[in-house]
Amino acid sequence: MQLRSIRWRLVMIYVLLVIIVMMASGTLIVYLTRDNEYKVIENDLIRLSALFSAISAEDEDAETLEKIYMDVLRQNKIDLSFSDSIIYMLRTDGEVIYTTSDVETARRILTPQTVAAGMGNSLDELDRVSNIRDSDRMMGLALPIKDNQGQVAFVLYFLKATEQVEEGIQRTVYVISISVLLAIVLAMFLGYIFSGYLTKPIRSLSRRAKDMAAGNLKNPIPVLSDDEIGDLTENFNYMAKSLNHTLEQMAGEKNKMETIINYMTDGILVFDENGLLIHKNPASIRMLDFYGAQNYEQIFAEKLQVSFADLTNRIEREQLKFILEKDNQYHNLVFARYFTDEPIVGGVICVIQDVTEHKKLEQIQKEFVANVSHELRTPITTVKSYAETLLDLSPDDTENRNRFLQVINSESDRMTTLVQDLLELSKLDNKKLSFQMEKIKLTALVKNEVEHYQIHADKKNQTIHFESQDEYIIYGDAGRVSQVFRNLISNAVKYSGHGSQIEVLLYEQNNFVVGEIRDQGMGIAAEDLPRIFERFYRVDKARSRAMGGTGLGLAIVDEIMQYHGGKIEAVSELGKGSCFYLYFPR
């Protein structure tokens, strides 16, 4: 039940009155009790000081007086049974001469009473101290004793503990507190029962009204009285009956629309006439990454540089389109106005389409056409030039004719290789290239490729060092795995200088068989290294073409490794060589 309800307000008022009365009476009782007890202590101290004042003989000097009072205190010549006070005999500067206390105390006592008495004066207000005898709370009264010269010879300081008084006060406060708590509990109990009878009809109506607000409109509220609450109940029933039919129709349409919008691949944003975001779907949040944004400006201020007012003015009755690019993601935005009632504009709807893949495909197609055209243009131009030259040669110029024909043949081979690589990549992309997966003796396969390329390496006085830690067996296509090692070893031989050494290693690492091909070639610059597996990408284009490269070899190697569930990585330093790592799952 809510604490701000009428029932609890009645209970709280009743409890508050009880608390005020109990606290006021309790405070008065504590104050009067404390005042009375302290008056008793004060009277005891005054009576005690009067007894010692009667001893005084003003015709005696200070030394004699001190002896007289010392003798009285030591021999208990005065009946102190009515008081449990402690008596200190002090010099005028507060130094302790004698005390009746059996507890070690300070050597000097300086309080308002003792200071005033030391100067021959008196104070109406008694001392209240706590550090003279242990930590007990005490009341003190000082009595100056004067000699025959009218000077203060010494001071008698009477102390009486107030601990019992404080304990009594605490007990009284405790009893009053318990009484207050019991009174509060009783007041709450009785108030709750009493207020329940008053608010029961209202609570019953409130519960049924909440059911109606939650959509339970089919169960009418029983009319239990003929008063104002009964009239209100009848009105609620009439309203529920009228709304039920309308809401059922609206709920069906709303559910259909929400399902469509939430599961659309396109993003939907709906803004009201002030630019506040009133609806969004998960796709729009994912595309534009605007978690927490509440209006148009927060979403598009930095993306479009077009305010909401300008947007609504430019839309008119047509659509407005934008292409939004961020972090290599492209989104097509279409804005259109909607109307609540002609010609009143209700706001703006934004449809968001993710065209990233489309843009990427366009870019890939452009780059592919450009690269293929570029790669084919050079050999075709060469073939055409040499063919035209052949036509102009004398039939007797056999030497030049043969040389030109060799060039034409070489360029034709290059175009054939390029077309074959393109066809192979196309088959890999379209999953049309068949792989004969079987157990492969990888160590023997790699050793065979090393021996094959050692013949080519000998022409450049190169050495290919092969080492395998074990006889490794993997699952894959032997021909394709051979193609991978063939490509990398061939590159190492091509791009390494005369007299260099090439290392081919096999070893096991983290459930992978790793093939490592390390050369001492020209190396690859750091900015080029991430792109070497892209199609047609060459680090040194002129040198690569001169050595017969198509720029597709590493791309094919990467595709083959992915098909085998592995990967290829490269590490290189410009001018020092490169190292390629092939990871085959065991």
In angstroms and rounded to an integer, the radius of gyration of the C-alpha atoms of the chain is 53
What sign does the dihedral 69-70-73-79 (CA atoms) show?
negative
For residues 293-319, one letter each, b for 16 or more C-beta atoms within 10 angstroms of the residue's C-beta and e for the rest, the string is bebbeebbeeeeeeebeebbeeeeeee
CA 74 centroid distance within chain: 78
Q: Biggest alpha carbon distance in the chain?
A: 167
Q: Where are the alpha helices (DSSP H) in 152-304?
A: 163-213, 228-262, 282-288, 296-304
Residue 206 tokens read as 């409130």
Mean pLDDT over residues 105-132, rounded? Answer: 69
d(CA 543, CA 390): 27
Neighbours of 154 (CB within 10 A): 25
210 located within any domain: no
On whether the CB atoms of residues 484 and 536 are closer than 8 A, the answer is no
- CATH number of the domain bearing residue 401: 1.10.287.130
111 located within any domain: yes
On whether the CB atoms of residues 157 and 105 are closer than 8 A, the answer is no
Question: What pLDDT shows up at residue 100?
Answer: 76
- Residue 347 backbone zone (phi > 0: left; psi -120 to 50: alpha; other: beta): left
Of the pLDDT bands very low, low, confident and very high (cuts 50, 70, 90), residue 410 is low
- CATH number of the domain bearing residue 330: 3.30.450.20
Mean pLDDT over residues 475-487, rounded? Answer: 87
Of the pLDDT bands very low, low, confident and very high (cuts 50, 70, 90), residue 423 is low
Q: Kindly state whether residues 324 and 455 are assigned to the same domain.
A: no
564 exposed, middle or buried (CB, 10 Å; 0-12, 13-18, 19+)?
A: buried
Using one digit for the tens of pLDDT, what is the confidence trace for 184-237?
888 888 777 777 766 666 776 677 677 777 767 777 777 766 766 667 777 777
180 CB-side CA count, 13 A: 17
User: Which residue do the tokens 């006060």 mark?
Assistant: 169
β-strand pairing of 463-468 with 501-509: parallel
Q: Kindly state whether residues 450 and 567 are assigned to the same domain.
A: yes
505 located within any domain: yes
Q: Kindly state whether residues 500 and 379 are assigned to the same domain.
A: no
Please enumerate in sequence order all residues whose Cβ is within 8 A of that of 532, keeping only pairs 6 or more positions apart, or say none. 524, 539, 554, 570
pTM over 0.75, yes/no: no
- CATH number of the domain bearing residue 468: 3.30.565.10
Which CA distances in Å does 215 have to 202, 229, 244?
Answer: 20, 22, 8
Q: Kindly state whether residues 73 and 149 are assigned to the same domain.
A: yes
Of the pLDDT bands very low, low, confident and very high (cuts 50, 70, 90), residue 546 is very low
Q: Kindly state whether residues 134 and 92 are assigned to the same domain.
A: yes
199 located within any domain: no
48 located within any domain: yes
142 DSSP 8-state letter: E
Of the pLDDT bands very low, low, confident and very high (cuts 50, 70, 90), residue 70 is confident
d(CA 544, CA 542): 6
44 located within any domain: yes
Q: Kindly state whether residues 363 and 322 are assigned to the same domain.
A: no
- What is the extent of the structural domain holding 556? 437-585
Q: Kindly state whether residues 443 and 409 are assigned to the same domain.
A: no
User: DSSP letters along 285-344, please?
Assistant: HHHH--TT--BHHHHHHHHH---HHHHHHHHTTS-EEEEEEETTEEEEEEEEEEEEETTE
Question: What pLDDT shows up at residue 518?
Answer: 92
Using one digit for the tens of pLDDT, what is the confidence trace for 483-541?
889 889 988 888 888 889 999 999 999 889 999 999 988 888 888 888 888 776 666 55
Q: Kindly state whether residues 240 and 298 are assigned to the same domain.
A: no
Q: Kindly state whether residues 294 and 382 are assigned to the same domain.
A: no
**Domain closes at, from 263, 283, 298:** 263
132 located within any domain: yes
Predicted confidence (pLDDT) at residue 450 exceeds the cutoff of 70? yes
For residue 261, which phi and psi values (nearest 5 degrees)?
Answer: -65, -45
Using one digit for the tens of pLDDT, what is the confidence trace for 3-43?
566 777 777 887 888 888 888 888 888 888 888 878 887 78
Question: What pLDDT shows up at residue 414?
Answer: 65
3-state secondary structure of 284: helix
**Domain closes at, from 331, 354, 377:** 354
Q: Kindly state whether residues 382 and 484 are assigned to the same domain.
A: no
Q: Kindly state whether residues 346 and 365 are assigned to the same domain.
A: no
Of the pLDDT bands very low, low, confident and very high (cuts 50, 70, 90), residue 542 is very low
**Domain closes at, from 429, 460, 484:** 429
Using one digit for the tens of pLDDT, what is the confidence trace for 219-228?
777 776 676 6
> Number of structural domains, the chain?
5
177 located within any domain: no
On whether the CB atoms of residues 128 and 139 are closer than 8 A, the answer is yes
Using one digit for the tens of pLDDT, what is the confidence trace for 339-382?
776 667 778 888 888 888 887 777 666 666 666 665 566 667 77
Q: Kindly state whether residues 46 and 99 are assigned to the same domain.
A: yes
d(CA 147, CA 197): 83
